[in-house]
Structure 1
Amino acid sequence: MKARGAALIHLGIPRRLDYAGLMPSFSPSQLHTRALELLSSRAARALETDATLGTLLHALLEASAHARTRFGVSDDDFLRALLRHVPADGGSLGTLRTVQAEELALALGCAAGHPVALAEFDQRFGAELRGALQRVDPSPAFVDEALQAVRERLFLRRDRSEPKIASYLGTGPLGGWARAVTLRVAINLRRGATVEVPLDERLAQGLKTEACGPELQLIKIQYREAFQQSFRAALGALTDQELNLLRLHFVGGTSQEKLGELYNVHRVTMARWLAHARERLLLATQRELQKRLKVEAEELHDILALVRSQLSITLTRALA
């Protein structure tokens, strides 16, 4: 109880005891005040009079109270994790409404190395991740090696970076997110990869101009920096699953049928998923280019049309 009180003092919020659950809680207005202190000045100004933020945060902290206690996640750490969903300009809070509070608390506990959280993760998802690995390669030796690699990828710090599981945002099932990481590790092991090249690096830097049509070559020569920045930003808008599907299909050469088996869906469904991921990448690239390029409207229209008509082909050629 002493440690819990210390967290409350750190929050700078008066403590109010919830006698039903013997757990301290905060009012929406108190959470709103604390959130404004943590947000950027621009977001704080935009949300200063918006009571919705405090209401949403209050609901998520209440929903995660038991899990945060079990997994040793402080109120402040959880609040900071939630505020990752608030746009820099304080815009729509729609993403915050989709957060799965209990699973986010579990992920944060695992990122901190809490033994109860790590044991809970293994109990919930261990069999599922093992099954995913067995569909890639059923040999016991491979599965054991891959499971160890997955655990290192998820839970160990690399240099000064946080464990991979710290990047889980809570907007989708934790099991599905962990399965995507697992499949990525497994494919890399099968291909004998010693260094994982991030997909954004492979796409944004690896798209060589000679792999494009002549018109797109000219665009990329003239607007190379804007193109790469736009492509990176577009990749950042994709989900982990979409990035993983693009990596496995375009980089790893995994067929739609094999991907369907890995994700337990029909080949037709997988084809739709891939098409949707590629379409989102194209649309996001167009939007980002439009923001960055200072050209006449007619020229911009031609540029965007060329990107849309040739980039999907370029994607396949450049990553072959």
Structure 2
Amino acid sequence: MRPATRLLSLLDGQRDHDAEAVERLLVAALADADRRWPGVAVDAEAYAAWVAARLPAGPEPVEAALAGLRLAELALTCACAGGSTAAIAAFDAEFIARDRRTTDDQKQLLRQKLFLAQGDTPARIARYGGRGELGRWVRTVATRIVIDGARPEREQPTDDDLLDALSVDPGHSPELAQLKQDARKIVQAALNGAIAALPARDRMLLLQYHLDGVGVVELGRLYDVAPSTISRSLARIRGGLLAQVRRSLMSHHKLWGDELERLLEFAQSQLSVGVIDRT
């Protein structure tokens, strides 16, 4: 079966397409993969199904959506996920072994994460969607592993860990230090609720910045945006948390006036201490 026929059959004819254009794109991608990684055999039908599962949703024709994907790199990851030793060796040689920013132990852990399934969870190589450079995606996974390895051995970070990372230094201000003794529980409850309500991406950004100590420049590389965008995102998230804390203190604790403002000042200090753009 031709790759295009297999791919289009999986889409149930729900999108406009030019079958010949789709076939040309897939065949060219397989030829490109063969040139880049000689000796790596990619099953055409398995590859078509692999690509179909990663095709971006949208109204554009299939061939237009395919044009936005890194099709040759998807061929390599498809072969790796299928257990091809040649594909895994080629992947390792290009994207893992020569990375000078990771230690041998980190490289080994990266290999395990990428190529070995964990229980019912597929190997992480299956998460590559083909929308960006494969090398950059691998560096992102490696960065996450380095960050995790820098933490003491423990469970994954929780919202309480994040709250502790945001907590005010008792020496920051004598007035706030005194207030902390009486107000921490109230503010902690309000902040916990606000943090729990954050979108997953915003919570992860706070964890990476405050708990992991990743600076705005490195976060910019990780998310493929300018450092100034990361700074604005952090400011937006902290502003949203403070607004949520204000609403919580007013609605649940019936606070207002000077008392409310003093607690908000304390909450704001928790969100601000140590918030200096790291480079």
Query: TM (normalized to structure 1)?
Result: 0.53
- For 1:76, give the aligned amino acid: E
> What's the secondary structure of 1:71's corresponding residue?
coil
What residue number does 1:4 align with?
none
- Residue number among 18, 24, 35 corresponding to 2:7 in the alignment: 35
Residue identity opposite 1:37 in structure 2: S
From 53, 60, 78, give the equivalent of 1:108.
Answer: 78
The answer to whether structure 1 residue 187 and structure 2 residue 156 are counterparts is no
d(CA) in 1 for partners of 2:205, 2:108: 22
Match of 1:84 among 43, 47, 53: 53
| Equivalences for residues 146-185 of structure 1 within 5 A | 146-185=106-145
Q: What residue number does 2:240 align with?
A: 310
Shift in Å, 1:309: 5.6
SS at match of 1:77: helix
Per the alignment, residue 9 of structure 1 pairs with: none
What letter matches 1:189 in structure 2? G
Q: 2:42 aligns with which of 68, 73, 80?
A: 73
Q: State the identity %.
A: 26
Gap change, CA 1:108 and 1:246, over 3 Å in 2: farther
Alpha-carbon distance in structure 1 between the residues aligned to 2:205 and 2:98: 19
Measure, in 2, the Cα distance between the counterparts of 1:52 and 1:312.
52
The Cα shift of 1:36 comes to: 4.0
* Aligned pairs for 1:1-320 within 5 A: 13=1, 26=2, 31=4, 33-39=5-11, 44-45=13-14, 47=15, 50-52=16-18, 55-56=21-22, 58-65=24-31, 67=33, 70-87=39-56, 91-92=59-60, 95-129=65-99, 131-133=100-102, 143-196=103-156, 210-211=190-191, 231=199, 235=201, 248-257=208-217, 269-272=226-229, 274-275=230-231, 310=240
Q: Which moved more, 1:166-175 or 1:119-128?
A: 119-128
Residues 154 and 196 of structure 1: CA distance in aligned 2, closer, same or farther (over 3 Å): farther
2:53 partner letter: R
Judging by fraction of residues, say which structure has more helix.
1
Report the alpha carbon displacement of residue 158 of structure 1 after superposing the two structures with TM.
0.5
1: distance between equivalents of 2:128 and 2:156? 19
Matched to 1:310, the amino acid is: G
CA distance in 2, matches of 1:179, 1:257: 15
Match of 2:168 in 1: none
**1:175-230 alpha-carbon deviations (Å, 9 max, x no partner):** 1100110110011111134555699xx9xxxxx871179xx79xx9xxxxxx67xx
Deviation by residue 1:259-317 (Cα, 9 ceiling, x = unmatched): 57x87x9xx94333x258779xx8xxxxxxxxxxxxxxxxxxxxxxxx99615987x95
- Structure 1 residue runs of 5 or longer lacking an equivalent are 1-12, 14-25, 134-142, 203-207, 221-226, 236-241, 283-306
Deviation at 1:255, TM superposition (A): 2.1
The number of residues matched between the two structures is 214
Larger Rg: 2
CA contact (8 A) 1:111 1:165 kept: yes
Matching residue's letter, 1:67: A
Amino acid at match of 2:40: F
Aligned 8 A contact 2:216 2:231 in 1: no
Cα distance in 2 for residues equivalent to 1:51 and 1:87: 14
Give 3-state SS (helix, strand or coil) of 1:132's partner.
Answer: coil
Contact 2:29–2:75 (CA under 8 A) maintained in structure 1: no
Distance change in 2, residues 1:243/1:311 (3 Å): closer
What is the CA distance between 1:106 and its match in structure 2? Answer: 1.2
TM-score normalised by structure 2 residue count: 0.59
Q: Is the 8 A contact 2:7 2:51 kept in 1?
A: no
Q: 1:313 to 1:154 in 2, by over 3 A?
A: farther
Q: Using a 3 Å threshold, how does the CA distance of structure 1 residues 109 and 278 change in structure 2: closer, same or farther?
A: farther
AA at the equivalent of 2:80: C
Question: Deviation of residue 152 (structure 1)?
Answer: 0.7
